[in-house]
Structure 1
Amino acid sequence: MRLILYIQKKIKKSTFGKNIMLITGGTAFAQALGIIFSPIITRIYPPEQYGVLTAYSAVLGLLAISASFDYQNAIPIADDDDMAINLLVLSMSFLSIVVLIIFVLLTLYGEHFLKLMDSEVLSSYKYLIPFGVFFTGTYNIVLQWGFRERNYKIITRTKISQSITSNLTKLIFGLMKFGPVGLILGVIIGQSAGITSLITPVIKKKELLLAVSQQRLKQVMKRYKNFPLYSAPSNYVYTAGNNLPVVLLVSFFGTSAVGLFGLANSITSLPMSLIGNSVSQVFYSEAAKIGKDNPDKIKSIAQKLIKQIALIALIPFVILLLFGPWLFSFVFGSEWYDAGVYSQMLSFMVYFHFIITPVGRILEIFERQREGLLLNITRLILIFVAFVITKTMNLNSYQAVGLYSIFSSITYVALLVMVMKILDSEIKRVNNQ
């Protein structure tokens, strides 16, 4: 109890902590709304229609992850607002081109395209895919401008409005018997909520729009080339690393093991999805504002952040490690006991992921994404090696998940070492100027 009170006291004293709590609170409230609406929505749409939504969400996530070639992530660290607005326009331009290409591919080779992505079930809804990519990509772009301006209150409101809009759309279209289209439109319309409030401050600054020119677009495209060259591929490699265990577990141990692993992974990852991502976004925004010419201050903030969230993460980590199987049995039923065992194995990986990943954004701040790509490739190889060892030594599923957790933890620790070395080298560079 004293530890929790100490953490709360430290957070309330820090502006950085208050910003994290604001974004996290908005995210938590948005997710709570989704939980409240879900019993109603699931009574309107049958499981097979939810299957269509699951397939659509998977395809959308894959296509939208770097649809603007990751140039939007350079917006918070741009040297000045003129460069930032040109990055925003450049990001929107690439997004529009990618959406157009997707539309053409779906028109000419729709069946083959969806078969390649194992999503033939979307053939009747294929033209909703480019719309989803466009609105998801647009929100991600203007969101980065919001973080550049540190408009945390507006960002928090958009997260809540997205949840409300998405769930109400699904509910209304469900009552109107739209079928799977209602669920998909709920995702698209919900994702578009908040775009206007985030882009309005930009539109009001007419002098910013006048700074956009073909010459400056070429300049920022070249200046921040590391984002499409390394960040975008790194996103896909990291995603592949997250999906590989599922593919190999079902191959080695069957669907039952994957179901248990899926629940364990989703529950243990909740702190990261709820708090960790918010911490990561706020840290990137604040560190970008400090600027790469002050690495000493960024290192100080990073070290304090790691210590604080290591304390916060220690509580769920110890609970899962000691009581995982019992908790899963109590909450989800006795048949989910083994999922609790998996959660014990995964708790190590999730702990390191939670405390280290936010400061990993330092790679983007100092434009060292090449190192990040190499690390993610190494992570993917290590995960594959873990399952090769499993097959060779005839290990059981618990041991396989344990190896996966250990090898992934090693890569997160390696990320921390890499980040600290980069900061030290940047501090030395600045001091030698």
Structure 2
Amino acid sequence: MLLKIWSKFSKSEFSRNVSSQILGTAVAQALPFLATPLLTRLFTEDDFATYTSFFAVASIFGVAAGGKYHLALVLPKEEKDANKIFVLSVYLTILYAIAIALFLPLFHSFFPENLSSVLYYVPLYVLFFGIWSAYINVSIRHKTFKTNAIAKVLQAIGYIVTAIGLGFSKIWLYGLVIAKISGICISWLFLSKKSRTRFSLVPFRSLKSVAKTYIDYPKFGIWPAFLNTISLQALVLILTKYYTTDDLGYFGLTLMVLSAPLALIGASYKDVFYQKIAALMNEKRHHEALAFFRKSALALIIMGIPICLVLYLFGEPLFGFVFGEKWERSGLFASILAFSFVVKLVASPLSSIFNATNTLRTASKWQVLYFISTFATLIICASFLKFSVEKLLFVYVVHECILYGIYLVLQYKTLKDSKVI
């Protein structure tokens, strides 16, 4: 019986798409992970601290790239409308990157001295990331998940080759930062070559109709995502301000390693889940959508628990063995964060429910709650109570489990109450 069920599942289009995404992302995550033991020996704690701070700032600014219109690319029934959304997203990304380049230097004094100079790379990252995101969502619309998978692998290879080259040569500052930008640029160029959709210059006025139809994406998507990204980077920002550069560097490696399984399982699942759940809702197959949501949540829990246990039980010695003894502290951080990892792994991929059901207002309310509670908790613990890093992380884990538990309940309730998009 179990073999029959597995055989049926493995032959379905959804399972093939998930397999393609997971395989591609597995390779894309495995390559940097395999290279990290070398990178930890080529770069110092300060280098990892700089990269971690840069990526936190770049991620925050990156959420508004394209006005979030790229997330609507899977929804239009007509291909011509999807093409207009794609062009609109690229236009807005370019304008936004230029605006960041012009105005971000005015605020360098608000950032730590060791970070201010690397901020000049932020507009370049945002530009490539925004265009890359548009192409990724075009690929999701056309169900070319193998192309997505290859693009992610190329991004990883570009990052690794650049980082190792700069690490050995020592000819350029911020080697990890430049490697990150190089990787995403290579991936974008590959996607643009393989995509059925071609960018072409069209008048802004011809894009007004789709901009108005999907106005909820920038209107209700940017600020919640902006707040969410700041919240996700809250630990980095707090560690940058209140703790030592070494602690930030150690946490940077922890974050890099924990991001690998989150991207492998979570991000891969999210892309295919979004396409599938949107199709079910478009076809008004409401009960099937609910069943699919429950099965997806259970599958993510089953995949996350073994990783959580390994990190919790063996994090410190494992990091010391793989990355070098000086990085054992990163393993200690990973063991503390293990349980928050599981709740994020389950709730984050399923959050595309709000996009598929066009109920971004519900998501935005949770994002505001998450933002306020995260910063209030961390600032009180770091600034007023003067907690050690370890204590701060314990409090953070409790907070994450509660807030993401609420998020998961909201996702299910939103889907249950939504009959049509």
Q: Report the TM-score, using the length of structure 1 for normalisation.
A: 0.79
The aligned counterpart of 1:366 is 357
Give me the whole-angstrom Cα distance separating, in 2, the residues matched to 1:396 and 1:173. 34
Classify 1:154/1:249 alpha carbon distance in 2 versus 1 (closer, same or farther; 3 Å). Answer: closer
Q: Does 1:165 align with 2:155?
A: no
User: Partners of 1:260 and 1:181 in 2: how far apart?
Assistant: 17
What is the CA–CA distance in structure 1 between the aligned matches of 2:67 and 2:303, rounded to whole Å? Answer: 34
Aligned match for 1:148, one of 141, 149, 156 = 141
- From 129, 132, 135, give the equivalent of 1:139: 132
Moved more, 183-192 or 115-124: 115-124
**Against the structure 1 CA distance between its residues 252 and 44, is the aligned structure 2 distance closer, same or farther, given a 3 Å change threshold?**
closer
Give the secondary structure class of the aligned counterpart of 2:59.
Answer: helix
- Displacement of 1:301 in angstroms is 1.5
1:116 aligns with 2:114: no
User: Is the Cα–Cα contact under 8 Å of residues 50 and 174 in structure 2 kept in the other structure?
Assistant: no
Structure 2: give runs of 5+ residues left out of the alignment.
none
Q: Does 1:226 align with 2:226?
A: no
Give the letter aligned to residue 26 of structure 1. Answer: G
Map 1:331-342 → 2, pairs under 5 A? 342=333
Where relative contact order (Cα < 8 A, 6+ residues apart) is larger, the structure is: 2
Query: C-alpha separation between the residues in 1 aligned to 2:196 and 2:5?
Result: 40
Q: 1:34 aligns with which of 28, 32, 35?
A: 32
Structure 1 residues 42 and 343: alpha-carbon distance in aligned structure 2, compared to 1, 3 A threshold: closer
In the TM superposition, what is the alpha-carbon distance from 1:142 to its structure 2 partner? 0.8
1:373/1:125 CA distance change after superposition, 3 Å: closer
Distance of aligned partners of 1:283 and 1:254 in 2 relative to their CA distance in 1, 3 Å threshold: same
CA contact (8 A) 2:25 2:263 kept: no
1:346 and 1:362 map into 2 onto residues whose CA distance is: 26
Given candidates 286, 296, 300, the residue that maps to 1:309 is 300
- Counterpart amino acid of residue 108 in structure 2: L
Residue 336 of structure 1: how far off its partner (Å): 6.8
Whether the aligned pair in 1 keeps the contact of 2:86 and 2:134 (CA below 8 Å) is yes
Q: 1:16 to 1:56 in 2, by over 3 A?
A: same
Deviation at 1:48, TM superposition (A): 7.0
Deviations 1:292-323 (A, max 9, x none): 44333322211111111211212223344455
TM-score for the superposition, normalised by structure 2: 0.81
Letter in 1 for 2:356: I
Shift of 1:153: 0.8
Query: Residue deviations 1:332-358, cap 9 Å, x none?
Result: 678877765654542322211111221
Q: 1:47 to 1:19 in 2, by over 3 A?
A: same
Which residue type is aligned with residue 368 of structure 2?
A: I
Return the index of the structure with the highest Cα Rg.
1
Q: What's the offset of the Cα at 1:100?
A: 2.3
Distance between the aligned counterparts of 1:285 and 1:294, measured in 2?
14
Give 1:97 deviation, angstroms: 1.1
How many matched pairs? Answer: 418
Unaligned runs of 5+ in 1: none
C-alpha RMSD of matched pairs (Å):
4.1
Aligned mates of 2:379, 2:43 — CA distance in 1: 41
Structure 2 CA distance for aligned equivalents of residues 177 and 331 of structure 1: 23
Give the drift of 1:46.
Answer: 7.8
